[in-house]
Chains A and B, each alone.
Chain A
Amino acid sequence: MITTLEPITYKFEPANLSPNDYKSDLHPIWCPGCGDFGVLASFYKAVAEQHIPTEQLVVVSGIGCSGRFPAFVNAYGLHGTHGRALPLATGVKMAHPELVVVAAGGDGDAFSIGMGHVPHAIRRNVDITYIVMDNEIYGLTKGQASPTSPVGMERKASPYGTVETPINPLLFALASGASWVGRGFSSRPKELVDLVKAAMQHKGFSLVQVLSPCVTFYDTYDHFKQISKPLPADHNPRDRMSAIKYAMDEATLYLGLFYQEERPTYDEGYAAKRAQAAKPNYGIKEIMGKYMR
C-alpha cells in the first residue's frame, strides 16, 4: 500500500541529434507553401543546436493550423483547446521546471481567444518560449479576418470590409512588461533559427512573433518581403523605449531581437518562496494538529 508519493525529478544529458531527429513520423497537414513549414524547419534546427534531448522537450499548442505543431515534433506534446496553450504550458513548467517548454500557435489562438493569457504569462515571466506564427488570417476555418488583419479586410465574414484596428502584438508584449520580445519571418530561416534559439535560451517568458504567410487565404509573401527588414544595428535590445519605437512602426516590420531583460522567472520566484516557507518534518499530521481542539 502506498501512502505517500515521492516527487520525480529528471536529470538530462545534452543530446547530440540532427535536426532530422526532431522530425516526427507525421508529415504536416499544412498547404504546400505554408509559412509554417519554414518555422518548423527552423525549430528543428534551433533545438538540435541546443542539444536538447527529445524527452526533455515539451511542445504545447492550442487550436489552428499552427496548433498542429506538436504532432510534427519528436518530443512530448500537448495539443490543448483553443487559446489555452499558455496556461497548459505554465502548468507543465511549474510542475517540472527541468523540462524545456515551448508553446506554439497562431495569431487567432494567441491574440484573440487566448489573448487573456498572454499578459499573465508575461507578468509571471514563466520560463517558456511562445512562438506565434502570425499570418494575419484564420486559415483553418477558411479565411476570416484575425486580430492582426489590416483594417478593411474583405472576407466572407466581413463582406464590406473590417472596421477593427489590428493588434500590434509586439507593442502589446512590450507594454505588458515582457522580458524577451522578437520578430522573425518564415522566409528568412537563418535568422529565424538564431532568433528561436536566443528566445529559448532566455530565462523567462519569450515571445517570438513569426510572420508566416498563408498561401491559400491571404498570401502576404511579397508584402512581408517588401516591408520587413532587420532592426537597425544601433538598436539596443536593452532599451525598452527604442524597442517600443520600432514595434510601433507599422510601415516597416522590423525583424530581430527587440527587447531583453533579466528578471527572476516564475519557477525561480516560487522556489524562493518555498525555501522561505519550508518546514522540516512537516506534513498532513502536523497540519491537522493545528486544528485540533
Chain B
Amino acid sequence: MPNNTLTVRVGGDSATGGIVTTGEVFARIAAYAGLEVYTTRTIPAEIKGGHVMFQARIAPNEVWSQGDDLDMLIAFDQESIDRYYALVRAGGILIYNSNESHPPAPDGVTQYPLPLNDLAKAINFQRGRNIITIGAMVKLFGLPFDTATAVVEKQLGRKREMLEQNLLALKSGYAYIEQNVTKTAPYHLTPRAGAKEEERLVVSGNQALAMGAIAAGCRFYAGYPITPATDIMEFLAGEFPRIGGTVIQAEDEMAALAMAIGASYTGTRAMTATSGPGLALMTELIGHATMTEIPVVVVDVQRAGPSTGMPTKVSQGDLRISVFGANDDAPRIVVAPVSVEDNFYQIINAFNLAEKYQTPVLFLSDQDMSVRVQTIPPFDLKRVCIEPRQLWDGRDAAAFERYQDTASGVSPMSLPGMKGGQYVAEGLEHLPTGEPDYTPEMHTKNMFKRGKKIRQAAGDAAKWGMLEQFGDPHAPVSIVGWGSTIGPVREAIERAEAEGLPVAALYTKMIHPLPRTEIAEFIKDRAAIIVPEMNYTGQFARMIQAEYWREVDSLRKYGGIPFTTREIYEEIKRVYATLKKPTKKPAAPKRALRKKKVASKRKTARK
C-alpha cells in the first residue's frame, strides 16, 4: 500500500452500468467512514451509452491528485480491461465481470471474478449491478457496512421499493466477496484518529462554485446548458428561488450574458456560466461590459476544444480567449481557482473584483475540478466579505457624470430607480456623460481609463488570498502555475523534495492582470521556471515570458486528461539534470527576444 493511499478505478459502459453512480456512492461511503476522497471521472458525450470511468483515491489524510497507478481496477466489461489493465500496479487487484469479460494472463496482478450479471439475476434486479459492485468494494476496502447502508439510503432512497432492492444488491455484492474472495479485506485504510468527528463537505467544484456565488451575494443567473457547466445552473435553479434570486435558462449564450449584464446594470450581482463554445459566443458582450463598465462574472468551465472538441475532457486552453477575447483591447480581470475548495473562495473574489472595478471578470474553472467530488473542510463563512460597488451618492444631479474619470478610473455608478442619475450605459465610445463621442482625444482617454482600472486590480491579489506559495522557498527550481494542475504539482514536489530535489511553487489565481511584483519577486533568482498547463501552445508560459522576458520551461499536456504526479516529478528531475551543466549567463532581454523569439526548452508530456 504505497503512500497509504488507494486508487481504484471503475470502468464500463454507461448504458448498462451506472458507473458514475457507483463511483460517487462509493466515494461518499468512504468519506462518511472518515476517509479523505479525491475523485476523477470521464463521462461520455453520448446521452446514454459510451465508455465511462470513475476513479477514486482514498486516504486517511488529504490527497491532492488522482494518483498515478491503480491499486484496483473494477471492470464491468471487456473494454475496461483492454483500456486500463496496464495501469494496475504490480501487486494490485483486478475485479472483472466474469459474465462479460475474460481476464488477461496472470502477471502479478491478483484477479478476482465477480459474476455481476448472475448476481443481479439472482436478486431479480438487472439494473442493480452498480450497487452490487459497491457492496463488493465496501467489503474489499474493509469499510463499515452500516455506513454503506446509510449512504445508499440517503443517496438512492427516494423511492421505497427501489431502496429495498438497492440494499439487497449492496448486501449481495458484499456477501459474494466475503464468501468467495476474501474474509479479510486486502485493503483496509484506518481513518485518522478523530477524523469521523471532523466536519467535512463532500462536494464537486461546480457545487463549491455555486455556493460561493450565493455567499458572494449573487442573486441573478442566466445560462445556456453546456457540459460541463450545466450543474452550476441546476444548483442555482434549486437554491435561488428560495433566497429571492432569479435563474433564467436563456435561448443562447449571448442572451445569457446579455441578461446578466442587464440585471447587473440595475445593481443586482449577476453571473453566467458556460464552457469554451459558449465563451466564444459571449465575447461580443464581454467587450460590451468592458465598454459600459458593468460588473458581471462569466464562468468558463474549460473543456477540450477547439469547436465542440471533447465536451467531457479537461483543458486549460481558454486562457487566451479569456484574457483577450473581444474586438480591440477590452481590459477585464481573469480569475482561476486551483481546486474544488478554492472554487468557493475565488468566485467570491471574482464578484468583488467585478463590483470594485466595474468590469467583466472571467472565471476559469476546468472540467476536472468541476465534476470531481472531493472531501474538503467546510467553507469558512467568516472569510466571506462583500466589496460593494461604488455608487453615485445621489447629490448634485446636474454635475453627475456616469463615466467621469477618477484617480482610480472607477466612476461612481447610478442605478435605474435613482432620481437624477439617468444616463445611457453606452457601448459606443462616449463622453463622461455617456453621450457618444468619436474624437481621438476621448477614445485615447477612455482606453487609458478602462486599462488603468484593471492594472490596479493586480494589487488586490496578495491581499485577497489569490497567491499560493509552497515548496522550498529557496529552491533553484521553481514551478509557476495556474488552475487545477496544483494537485499533481503539490505531490510531485513532495516526492522530489524527499529525494533531495527541492522545488518552490507559486500559483496565481489572478491570471489577468498578473500580480506583477509578486511573481517578479518569486522568479527573480530561480535557475529554472517550470510552467505546467493543459494546452497545446503553452498559453500561460507565453504570458509569463512576455511579461517578464524570462525563459521558462513550458510543460504541456493536451490530450484531455489531467497531469499525473509522475509526469510533473519526471520534469522536475529532468530540469535538475540540465542544471548540473554549466549555466550560461542569461542573455539581455532584447537580444534574447530577437534571437530566440519565444523559443524555450519546451517539452510535451505525454502518457
Chain A residues with a Cβ under 8 A of chain B = 1-5, 7-8, 10, 12, 26, 53-56, 58, 60, 63, 68, 70-71, 74-81, 83-84, 86-96, 98-99, 116-117, 120, 270, 273-274, 276-279, 282-285, 287-288, 291-293
Contact = CB atoms under 8 A, between A and B. Distances in A.
B386 A5 contact: yes
14 contacts: A7-B268, A8-B417, A55-B417, A77-B422, A88-B258, A88-B261, A91-B220, A95-B246, A95-B270, A96-B266, A116-B251, A279-B242, A284-B381, A287-B239
A81 B427 contact: yes
A71 B435 contact: yes
B262 A95 contact: yes
Interface centre among A1, A55, A60, A93 (most CB of B within 10 A): A55
B381 A10 contact: no
A12 B211 CA distance: 34
Given A1-B385, A5-B386, A284-B381, A79 B427 contact: yes
A91 B207 contact: no
Contacts of B201: 288, 291-293
A57 B252 CA distance: 27
B313 to A, nearest CB: 26
Interface centre among A3, A4, A75 (most CB of B within 10 A): A3
B211 A284 contact: yes
B290 to A, nearest CB: 12
Given A55-B422, A284-B215, A291-B201, A3 B32 contact: no
B422 A74 contact: yes
A149 to B, nearest CB: 25
B217 A4 contact: yes
A88 B418 contact: no
Nearest to B250: A87
B268 A95 contact: yes
A77 B386 contact: no
Question: Which 6 A-B pairs give the minimum distances between C-beta atoms?
Answer: A91-B262, A77-B424, A87-B258, A91-B259, A95-B263, A10-B417
Interface in B357-386: 375, 378-379, 381, 384-386
Given A78-B424, A273-B241, A4 B220 contact: no
Contacts, number: 198
Contact of A91 (B260, B421, B435): B260
A80 B545 CA distance: 36
A56 B250 CA distance: 25
B513 to A, nearest CB: 25
B416 A92 contact: yes
Contact of A5 (B269, B288, B418): B269
A63 to B, nearest CB: 8
Given A7-B244, A55-B422, A270-B246, 17 more contacts: A2-B386, A5-B217, A55-B417, A56-B416, A60-B262, A68-B436, A71-B436, A77-B425, A79-B292, A81-B258, A81-B284, A81-B285, A81-B287, A88-B258, A89-B262, A92-B416, A96-B266
B377 to A, nearest CB: 11
Contacts of A78: 262, 265, 292, 424-425
A81 B420 contact: no
Nearest to A120: B251
A58 B263 contact: no
Contact of A80 (B222, B250, B288, B420): B288
Given A60-B262, A94-B248, A293-B375, A87 B255 contact: yes
B386 to A, nearest CB: 4
B239 A291 contact: no
B604 to A, nearest CB: 38
B112 interface: no
B143 to A, nearest CB: 14
B219 interface: yes
A293 B200 contact: yes
Given A94-B220, A95-B263, A58 B242 contact: no
Contact of A282 (B215, B242, B267, B375): B242
B388 interface: yes
A220 B420 CA distance: 40
Contacts of A68: 436
B265 A92 contact: yes
Nearest to A54: B422
B24 to A, nearest CB: 13
Contacts of B32: 293
B508 to A, nearest CB: 25
B419 interface: yes
Interface residues of B, number: 72
A293 B251 CA distance: 37
Nearest to B260: A91
Contact of A277 (B242, B250, B264): B242
A68 B428 CA distance: 10
A92 B294 CA distance: 13
Contact of A99 (B261, B381, B416): B416
A70 B417 contact: no
B187 interface: no
Contacts of B255: 84, 86-87, 90, 116-117, 120
Contact of A293 (B202, B215, B386): B202
Nearest to B220: A95
Contact of A77 (B251, B379, B418, B423): B423
A89 B425 CA distance: 13
B413 to A, nearest CB: 11
B427 A80 contact: yes
A84 B425 contact: no
A71 B423 CA distance: 8
Contacts of A2: 385-388
Given A5-B386, A88-B261, A92-B263, A292 B427 contact: no
B544 interface: no
A177 B506 CA distance: 56
A70 B418 CA distance: 17
A95 B266 contact: yes
B86 interface: no
A288 B417 contact: no
A284 B284 CA distance: 33
A91 B263 contact: yes
A60 B264 CA distance: 14
Contact of A8 (B256, B285, B415, B424): B415
Interface string B261-300: 1111111111000000000000011011000100000000
A282 B269 CA distance: 19
B385 A3 contact: yes
B254 A288 contact: no
B494 interface: no
Nearest to B254: A84
A278 B242 contact: yes
B265 A288 contact: no
B214 interface: yes
A291 B434 CA distance: 46
Interface in B213-263: 214-215, 217, 219-220, 222, 239, 241-244, 246, 248, 250-252, 254-256, 258-263
A70 B258 contact: no
Given A79-B428, A91-B259, A8 B267 contact: yes
Contacts of A56: 416-417
B298 to A, nearest CB: 14
A278 B182 CA distance: 51
A271 B381 CA distance: 28
Contacts of A94: 220, 246, 248, 259, 263
B30 to A, nearest CB: 10
